[in-house]
Amino acid sequence: MSPNPREFVLGKVGPVPIIPRFFYATLFVGASCSPLRESKKALCLRKTKEPLNLGTPTQSTAKVLSFSDGLPGGSEDLSGASTLSMKTKLRALLIALSLGTTIEMIQAQSRFNEIANLPFSENRPTAETANTLLDELLFQRATQTYLWALPLINTFGMKYGSEKVFGAGYNVLPIWKERLDAKTLVTTPNSDVIYAMSYVDLGKDGPIVFEAPPMLQGILLDFWQRPIPVDGGKYFGDIGLPGPDGGKGGKFLLLPPNYRGDVTEGYFVYRSATNNVFIFLRSFYQDPKNLTPAVELVEQSKIYPLGKKDTAEPMKFPDASGIPTNMLPASDGTAFDQLKLLVDSEGANLADSDWLGMLASIGIVKGQPFNPDEHERKILDRAAKIGYKMSRVIGFGDLVSGRPFRVYPDRRWINPIADGTPQNPGGSLNLDWIRKDGGYLDLDCRIWFFTNYYSISPGMISQIPGKGAKYMIGFTDRDGTPLSGGTNYKINLPPNIPAANFWSVTLYDAENASGLANGQPFPSLGSRDKPEQNPDGSTAIYLGPEATEGQQGNWLATVPGKGYFVILRLYGPTEAAINKTWIPGDIEKVK
């Protein structure tokens, strides 16, 4: 459960700094203060009926982060101070006069100052200081490891959740045969295609062959979710229309890292950088009432070890639809247990020596026991929880690492590669999240992506008309306010929506980016649902807790008290989508 957005705390909860980098002075008249149970020094500012805003953002004032409706947000608009009573105004004046003292108190009680001022005796740390700093060191290293490893944790969450429910093995390929609904917890799934996902271990089973029928679409990704390069250097990860088979199907050979054996002709050869591989498949239906052809297409897939087709385990295609399954990234200390399993499986394939050293510093070493004691386990658990929350803060930004994500300059819709062009679809990033202009990993952009999404490939970001897909994400309404489940909104889609295949609007829970459990069969609505058009050919999509009479066919339900966000998908975007001459309306509040 998210913290109460009306309660703000500065201080210590275990070894964790929770003071943001920039401070905003928001004082609350009549605030009561009570220390946290685990904090020696904490300041609580509780909002009362008479809020008073005494400043604008500066480095010398204090801003306290909160989460509201699952979304990270700052202090509320307190511009109503003009309505305060005379008594309150006088009290406000006294507070304003003592503002400098108040800020000094906040800073003095911050966790940063507490750590910086830990005592040394005769230029050596005291025993208590040493213990505190060693705890802090473990916490900080673990938190940064969690954020760095988020793509791995994302992939492992899907693998673990799937295999726990449907079984493990190269021959197990769960298919969401009745589409993927909100019972499957996974980051931003698409409810308007048929999904299938599998996980293979090339270190255990050796090279793996994946046979795909014609017109099946998919991506082969290593465990970092980097699209696997194909021999020849032209293709990466994709199979199907944007892949080397061009939609004709064929045999796709997955090779482990540093494979030196001969390769027989007749295969599209994918050389993975990790032993563990994620196979992500999609097929498209034309009629939501007849999913059988799309499901049967996926069921023609075959996965088996190279040279062992006749003796391989028979394929299993469990139906994953409607079965509660948690495939979200771990947000507690189990994330580090998962990283230990990966280090044992991958060794040097997983990371360079620097990051293997960071993993070793928190006790994760290939072939050695990982047995943190109870005290260390608590620190690791808090590090993962706070690392995940930090990723959520990054993940709701529209300006990351200095790059604006706005798709259109006058709209709120965003995409992490909004700067892509037909000549340079990835914009300033490659698909390993390396900045082309500096040659370094854009860590925050990668965190932004993997806290809310999974899988990327050249085919997904293609800007060839009629191929790939265009994704536009809406976190806020037109005024920049995060979307709230208790508010009514409208999205106006202009005429001639530029999608050769289909378009859809899908709602996602702000808490974890899974499909919003809104009481409808699926949290999505699109062209194949045949929503009603306006006389001018435009389409209005309504979002809110209840549908207005006559709008039910164009309505997606929201849940009061739950924050959410929206993804507009255009499959097979045509020229008007690519050149941005077709511009969707912002998400607007309606009464």
Asked whether the beta carbons of 187 and 512 are under 8 A apart, the reply is yes
What value does the mean pLDDT take over residues 195-221? 98
Distance CA 303, CA 94 (A): 73
113-132 tens-digit pLDDT: 999 999 999 999 999 999 99
Residue 111 pLDDT level (bands cut at 50, 70, 90): confident
562 vs 101, higher pLDDT = 562
Domains with residue ranges and CATH for the chain: 7-116 (no CATH), 136-146+336-387 (no CATH), 151-326 (2.60.40.1610), 399-589 (2.60.120.600)
Percent above pLDDT 90 for the chain? 79
291-321 tens-digit pLDDT: 999 999 999 999 999 999 999 999 999 999 9
* 103-115 core/surface letters (b: 16 or more CB in 10 A; e: else): beebeebbbeebe
What value does the mean pLDDT take over residues 497-512? 97
Check pLDDT > 60 for residue 64. Answer: no
Check pLDDT > 50 for residue 60. Answer: no
Check pLDDT > 50 for residue 12. Answer: no
Give just the sign of the alpha carbon dihedral 578, 582, 588, 591.
Answer: negative
pLDDT at 467: 87
Asked whether the beta carbons of 538 and 494 are under 8 A apart, the reply is yes
What value does the mean pLDDT take over residues 102-123? 80
Asked whether the beta carbons of 359 and 411 are under 8 A apart, the reply is no
CA 570 to chain centre: 20
Residue 456 pLDDT level (bands cut at 50, 70, 90): very high
Q: Supply the Cα-derived Rg of the chain in whole angstroms.
A: 26
pLDDT at 346: 98
What value does the mean pLDDT take over residues 144-155? 98
Residue 76: count other Cβ atoms within 10 Å of its Cβ: 14
What value does the mean pLDDT take over residues 465-472? 93
Distance CA 435, CA 529 (A): 40
DSSP 254: E
Kindly report the pTM of this predicted structure: 0.84
Asked whether the beta carbons of 336 and 380 are under 8 A apart, the reply is yes
Q: Could you tell me which of 355, 323, 121 has the C-alpha nearest to residue 224?
A: 355
Check pLDDT > 50 for residue 142. Answer: yes
Q: Which amino acid is at 49?
A: K
- Region for residue 363 given its phi and psi (left: phi exceeds 0; alpha: psi -120 to 50; beta: otherwise): left
The mean predicted confidence, pLDDT, of the chain is 87
What value does the mean pLDDT take over residues 147-169? 98
Residue 31 pLDDT level (bands cut at 50, 70, 90): very low
Q: What 3-state DSSP class applies to 101?
A: helix
Residue 51: count other Cβ atoms within 10 Å of its Cβ: 22
Residue 110 pLDDT level (bands cut at 50, 70, 90): confident
Asked whether the beta carbons of 125 and 298 are under 8 A apart, the reply is no
Asked whether the beta carbons of 414 and 406 are under 8 A apart, the reply is yes
Distance CA 357, CA 440 (A): 19
Q: Could you tell me which of 346, 364, 449 has the C-alpha nearest to residue 142?
A: 364
Q: Tokens representing 266?
A: 């007749």
Residue 26 pLDDT level (bands cut at 50, 70, 90): very low
pLDDT at 591: 82
What value does the mean pLDDT take over residues 410-437? 95
pLDDT at 478: 97
Q: Rounded to the nearest 10 degrees, what angle do helices 127-148 and 150-166 cross at? A: 70
* 164-195 core/surface letters (b: 16 or more CB in 10 A; e: else): ebbeebbbbbbbbbebbbbebbbbbbbbbbbb
Check pLDDT > 60 for residue 1. Answer: no
Residue 180: its H or E element: none
Asked whether the beta carbons of 432 and 498 are under 8 A apart, the reply is no
DSSP 240: S
Which of 74-88, 104-118, 151-165 shows the lowest per-residue confidence on average (mean pLDDT)?
74-88
Q: Could you tell me which of 490, 472, 487, 510 has the C-alpha nearest to residue 587?
A: 490
3-state SS record for 9-77: EECECCCCECCCCCECCEEECCCCCCCCCCCCCCEEEECCCCEEECCCCECCCCCCCEEECCEEECCCC
Q: Could you tell me which of 156, 182, 222, 144 has the C-alpha nearest to residue 388?
A: 144
pLDDT at 103: 62
364-403 tens-digit pLDDT: 999 999 999 999 999 999 999 999 999 999 999 999 999 9
Max Cα distance, the chain (Å): 87
Residue 209: its H or E element: strand 208-212
Check pLDDT > 50 for residue 99. Answer: yes
Distance CA 382, CA 152 (A): 19
